[in-house]
Amino acid sequence: MRIATALYRAAMPMVILGLIMSGCGQPPASPNAARAGSTAEAPSGAHSGAAKPGSDQSTGGPGTKAPRPAGSSGTGAKSGQAGPGAGATAVVPAPTGRALPNPGALAPGSVYLNPATGQNEVIVADIRRTVLLIGDSQSEPSNSWPRAGLAAAGYKVVFCGKGGTGFVAANGRFGNYIDALNRGEWTLPYGSLPLVVIEGGGNDAGRGATDSQIVTNAERLIAALKQRYPDAEMAMIGTLAKGAGHGGGRRTEVDALLGTVAAKHSLPFVSVGDWLTRYDLARNMADGVHMDAQGHKALGQLLAGRLAQLQIQAPQPGEGPGPQLG
């Protein structure tokens, strides 16, 4: 027993040393290696950036939206979305410390990203004599009769719109009036305008838009523009047509309908639903819908006379900032 005990005592250190040498796993990782794998790395493209106006991107993952700028109307740009991958963390750039550009120091024609709206707006040379004209293909040409009439009233015209569009009607990727405004498709003038004029209705008439649809979207547009330009006066020009007794049809009906919308909101309205036959200008139509050059000129002169009757006139030097509306 004494011999066995002595052998046991001699063997135990060797057994313990063998267990230590064989180990229970790999040696512990270095502190630096452990830290490297402890946090999910942001994937390439996870850095947020300036999103395009009207985008539906958000910061940090789906459903989490960045705060809107103060005074935003809800149509502003939102920051970029984190890249793909479970647990990805958006990396937000640190503030640069640079101040926003002063729009008053920008040259006319410059595009300015308005932080209050999140949309691009254009700097105009003489904002107090500028009118925003919203319209369709009747207004789109540079020599169009709505532009000519407003220019004769002393205004510099900024046009926003597109042929084939209207209060309800859209044209391919171009939305109807209210959608185009909300999505930032238009580059509106920056600053406090004296006058906003809305023209249209012909495409709505041609594509079967209902009275309810037209009225609803017209009122949405009026409300949005009043919010955008709270100090501006507003007027409407109806739908050019031949007149109820001369084949005007739905176009004449839409012209009258828009007149009721304007009256409800106490807006001056120029009804043009019978001008083609009243003034014998159907012969100056280029394609049955649009005017030729002579027709645009004649209608522009008629519109200028009607605007003068409504006392819609750009301010002269030394006068107040807005039109005098009767």
294-308: pLDDT as tens digits: 999 999 999 999 999
In a domain, 68, yes or no: no
In a domain, 25, yes or no: no
pLDDT tens figures, 281-294: 999 999 999 999 99
In a domain, 178, yes or no: yes
In a domain, 71, yes or no: no
In a domain, 4, yes or no: no
CA-to-CA dists, residue 55 to 51, 52, 70, 72, 95, angstroms:
7, 6, 18, 14, 22
Please give the model's pTM, rounded to 2 decimal places.
Answer: 0.69
| CA gap 87, 27 in Å, rounded | 29
In a domain, 212, yes or no: yes
Q: Which comes out higher in pLDDT, residue 41 or 103? A: 103
In a domain, 8, yes or no: no
Residue 249's domain comprises 125-309
Domains held by the chain: number: 1
| CA gap 67, 79 in Å, rounded | 9
Q: What is the CATH number of the domain that holds 171?
A: 3.40.50.1110
Sheet holding 111-114, edge to edge: 111-114, 119-122, 188-189
Indicate whether 95 pLDDT > 90: no
Q: Tell me if 167 sits within 8 A of 295, measured CB to CB.
A: no
pLDDT tens figures, 191-229: 999 999 999 999 999 999 999 999 999 999 999 999 999
